[in-house]
Structure 1
């Protein structure tokens, strides 16, 4: 495979293998488990509150524990990916976060006075070891997919967050109802541990994968994929200068992408933390019903996420600029996402779910940020750039659960929470329209 000539034309892809789609399916499955593990506490939250005596502020801090560590781990996680490669670091991450999920099932044996500290610590460790996951997804997609397919590929792995809720929320709701909240953690943790054992046999880079033929490799390589990113012969990553770091933290294109990711992550964390509890406490639904009802917006988010990449790559193939192709689904999607505030003005359950479904379809449609990062990251430090992008975005995973908890306690209502979350969608639209500018691949000034 190393001898494949760059002279092979892209149109040989008509006889090409399609291994890259198997790799993408693997990323989709793992990311679904990743988000389901994050959401376990939201499904168990109502019962935990009663058994352990946690109030809304305490729950807000417990929800945020994941976010603190997830943010802290992003830049080191990105560096580890660039230094040791996606296969090793992602495999270790999958195993360790699954262990953290599994051990939460033993919380029922803890005394209520120590349960908060124990759960906060384990959720903190969960966030820390999950931190390389999305930068790794980004690196693997940049390695396996040409530019014209990258938006679709990114939207598929990113839409797994909705598939996680759509598929696992009903299962977790049933498990809680039938066996108890502890078994949610045991089930999800065990599932991830089994998958981590299979990971080394399933993941390879394009040059070493035994089922990639020359035509597919040429299609990937000539289409702009960074096929050498995890090569064993690759030199130790370049040393960064102050100018390089300044570029990553001050470039207007990246800053707008960071703001957009922060905003969309605020919506994500509302959905995987407070949303099920909102349905129980503000809308009077049972835990069992919430497990199924929460799947409806999740399915719509999944559909929006799939449409995001298809629309973006479709516009690109029709001659629309990379800038227009990436920005269009984001701006339209965040406009729809802001509609969730309308839930404050309706009473019927079906209307609440319909509005949430529309909002989360829009959120899925806007999930193009990782494609933007794949398009613009300096090729020597895609892991680090993705880590910074995800770190800044996931500060919302700290802020949103805590602020929401305080709003609920001090106002006695979820109305302010919905206003707070919807405002992020408006902020993101302004960032992409007025701050971002043209989209292009950045270069390190020192190289």
Structure 2
């Protein structure tokens, strides 16, 4: 093993620095999701104050998704070229800045407020684009294969944690102050964590607190600790390699499944609070509290799905079986969201939403699958392509659901759309993806 390692006094002890790194990844990812949903939290107030309709709000939401999708491959390339830690720090700073600026859009001329919001959402999408590919690379760098699904599920579960914690907080801020303060608060939080990240997070070969024992353990277990080794330069992304990734049957199935999975995610992120207010008559503050309930179940499902997958792997099941079983179970549970159309009991609706979000979290193993299958020299690029497919959903979903709600004056068709997306995500793994193994170029 290469020993150009900046270890401290812990050479003879097995440290657990990788879990500290995962903790920071978890928190930063939770902040990124809070910044994405902030506009949804204040959406009802914006509709009233600025005389918008849900279709216009859907177009503003989609501006984020368009930018986020377009920047996935460039973002993945930058990560492979310059390293996860540095690019993540820049990304966090700029998305916090654009979130902060949302709070001052009210000072724009009235005719330009919608354009200003859409532009800031677009810039937010540009800045956040490297986040999940960076998470994937960091987990691949710090965690052995047998811990990878759990680690990836933990950072992926931060989206549910974000909803559970920030939805009530931001709803309270909106109610007691004004919607502009939501963005100011989130921007300041992001600036603080930019400083923390820059000072405390490093790669395995550069971290002063990691021991030789831990480094040996993660490397022998399959962690790619040399991925961001200094002075190693990565080539520009090759179109032929991108084509090979997309045209490979299993890789394409993994990519496509993420699109359908993210449709569920974006219903809960963007439309669920509005659904509670407009369709079910909840006050804004109560809607924020109620929205936290499915998020808590989603968080639990997200953690348990990864733990269950790694448990199956340790019990001797193949990697393919260990990853696919939780996905199938989870998507079947997520499809239960359609049952909300057949009851007017708000308690039952919240229970069904919680079950659906639990299932979505349990089956959200796309990121560990990518770390299992991506070519070693292109993890960032592969994760970027994966996120391009996944983030067609934040472009399409707000437009489709906004149009369905506007035309039908009901969320029923929207819930059918989300349920079918869960089943399609499952079918991708059952009928398109074959064996889950490292793809070599």
The TM-score normalised by the length of structure 1 is: 0.96
Distance 1:274 1:247, change over 3 A: same
Paired position in structure 2 for 1:404: 401
Unaligned runs of 5+ in 1: 6-12
Q: Deviations over 1:409-436 (max 9, x none)?
A: 1111111111111110111111100110
Paired position in structure 1 for 2:286: 289
Say which SS state the counterpart of residue 71 (structure 2) adopts.
Answer: helix
Paired position in structure 2 for 1:265: 262
The TM-score normalised by the length of structure 2 is: 0.97
Alignment RMSD: 1.5
Distance 1:208 1:282, change over 3 A: same
Deviation at 1:246, TM superposition (A): 2.2
The answer to whether the 8 Å contact 2:237/2:381 transfers is: no
Distance 1:246 1:52, change over 3 A: same
Paired position in structure 2 for 1:334: 331
The CA distance in 1 between the partners of 2:241 and 2:291, in whole Å, is 43
Q: Deviations over 1:220-275 (max 9, x none)?
A: 000000000001032x2145555422221111111111121101111111111111
Counterpart of 2:388 (choices 391, 404, 407) is 391
The CA distance in 2 between the partners of 1:54 and 1:233, in whole Å, is 52
Q: Is the aligned partner of 1:174 residue 2:168?
A: no
Q: How does 1:9-408 map to 2 (within 5 A)?
A: 15-234=13-232, 236-238=233-235, 241-408=238-405
Q: How does 1:410-425 map to 2 (within 5 A)?
A: 410-425=407-422
Unaligned runs of 5+ in 2: 6-10
Deviation at 1:196, TM superposition (A): 0.4
Would you say how many aligned residue pairs link Structure 1 and Structure 2?
437
Say which SS state the counterpart of residue 230 (structure 1) adopts.
Answer: coil
Paired position in structure 2 for 1:9: none
- Higher mean alpha-carbon deviation, 193-202 vs 314-323, is at 193-202
The answer to whether the 8 Å contact 1:100/1:125 transfers is: yes
Say which SS state the counterpart of residue 282 (structure 2) adopts.
Answer: coil
Say which SS state the counterpart of residue 264 (structure 1) adopts.
Answer: helix
The answer to whether the 8 Å contact 1:28/1:156 transfers is: yes
The answer to whether the 8 Å contact 2:77/2:237 transfers is: no
The CA distance in 1 between the partners of 2:23 and 2:238, in whole Å, is 37
The CA distance in 2 between the partners of 1:240 and 1:408, in whole Å, is 41
The answer to whether the 8 Å contact 2:79/2:130 transfers is: yes
The CA distance in 1 between the partners of 2:369 and 2:358, in whole Å, is 20
The CA distance in 1 between the partners of 2:198 and 2:57, in whole Å, is 37
Q: After TM superposition, where is structure 1 displaced by more than 3 Å over at least 4 residues in a row? A: 238-243
The answer to whether the 8 Å contact 1:4/1:218 transfers is: no
The CA distance in 1 between the partners of 2:410 and 2:239, in whole Å, is 47
Q: Deviations over 1:339-367 (max 9, x none)?
A: 00111111111111000000000000011
